[in-house]
Amino acid sequence: MTYRFFTPAMISRIGIVVLVFIVFGVSVPNFATFDNVFAIFEYFAFYGMVAAGIAATMLVGELDLSVGSVAAVAGIIAIAASGLGLLPALLIATAMGVVYGLAQGWIIAKTGINSLVFTIATLIMMRGVAFMLTPTAQIMPLDRIGMSDFLKTQIWILSPTSITTITIMVLLGLFLGFTRWGREMMAFGGARHEARAAGVNTRRPIIIAFIISGALASLAGAIASIKSASAAPFSYEGLLLIAVTAALVGGISLYGGKGNMFGVAIGTLTLNVLSAGIALRGAAIYVQDLATGLVLLVVLIVEFLTESPQRKAWSERRAFERQLAAAAEAKA
């Protein structure tokens, strides 16, 4: 298998993000500025990390709906552990995500329960855990003032956060493309029955995918909370929508087995450029939600028209019906 990045579909995705950027750059004042590009990359760092994790679950044909709640829990843990220093706080929060993902993935793999339904239960539960961890159910401030400074360092248009996200995406891409376990995940997601028949372990891909999504959602939540110097149990409720949309825009298929991390990066960037443009026009936050929702629906249709097995079955059936009709006509 050759590993091709620049497929025609990927080039058109890159084209779209460039186009959206140019349109806003021309029509919105202060859009094509250095500071705004930096801000876009900061959003990219946060959403991209979560989207990469969700993409891992989508690649094996599952979907983790609980990322928002997990990110909230991780943010609170990171703030609570901030006395130990930046790195330990982030590591502890991420370790929570790994353990959580392992447990969740194991239950889903073992029972065969559809993850779309099971993760709704864990989504509720983890939101509850987030509230339980904050004694007053209010915003937890970060006491150590200087701690977030490092994360806010600006390196050209990047920051430690966005560099972390890009590194993670590269590593994850390499893992999925070139290691045995990663390729197992892709094979498993693309054709579950065939993969099983070929002797692929049927539990490991699912468990690994959920560990990745739990860990990345946690790391993202932890970094974001320390950077903003506060954590609240009710935060990140809209995270799922944006992360799923970003992964889908980037060409990760909901039907499993298709897509790569480079696409996730492009998809996230597209959404961030879009919402930054809308925000700079002075529109209310809910307009961004509306836009994200509409983008998601449009992408779903496009994906359906190009990728879905149902669509193929549907067009085959149509062709067959047409043949039958033609045969009947010929008889008559």
Partner 1 sequence: MTLAATSASEPRFRMTRSRWFNLALLGIVIVVLIIGGVTQPEFLTPDNAIAIVRAAALIGIAAVGMTFITLSGNFVSLSTQQTAVLSAILFAMALGAGWSLLPSVAVVFAAALVLGLIQGWFVALGLNSIVTSLGAGAAIFGIANVITDNRTVQARSDVADFLGNSRPLGIPIQVWIFAGLTAITMIVLLKTTFGRQVKLIGSNRDTARASGIRVGRVVIWSFVIASVFASICGILLVAQVGQAKVLNFEDFNISVVAAVLVGGTAIQGGEGSTLRTAIGAIVISTLDAYMLFAQYETGTRLVITGVVVGLAVISFNWVRTRSST
Nearer to partner 1, 14 or 254 (CB): 254
Binding-residue pattern over the window 130 to 169 for partner 1, x denoting contact by CB under 8 A? xxxxx--x--------------------------------
Regarding 68 and contact with partner 1 (CB under 8 A), the answer is no
Binding-residue pattern over the window 184 to 223 for partner 1, x denoting contact by CB under 8 A? ----------------------------------------
Regarding 300 and contact with partner 1 (CB under 8 A), the answer is yes
> Binder to partner 1 among 290, 325, 326, 327 (CB under 8 A)?
290
Binding-residue pattern over the window 260 to 279 for partner 1, x denoting contact by CB under 8 A? --------------------
Residue 157 beta carbon to partner 1: minimum distance, rounded to whole angstroms: 29
* Cβ–Cβ under 8 Å, residues 185 and 60: yes
Size of the site for partner 1 (CB under 8 A): 52
Q: Which stretch binds partner 1 (CB under 8 A): 141-149, 163-171, 179-187, 298-306?
A: 298-306
Nearer to partner 1, 167 or 315 (CB): 315
The residue ranges that bind partner 1 (CB under 8 A) are: 63, 65, 107, 111-114, 116-118, 120-134, 137, 233, 240-241, 244-245, 248, 254, 284, 286-287, 289-294, 296-297, 300-301, 304, 308-311, 314
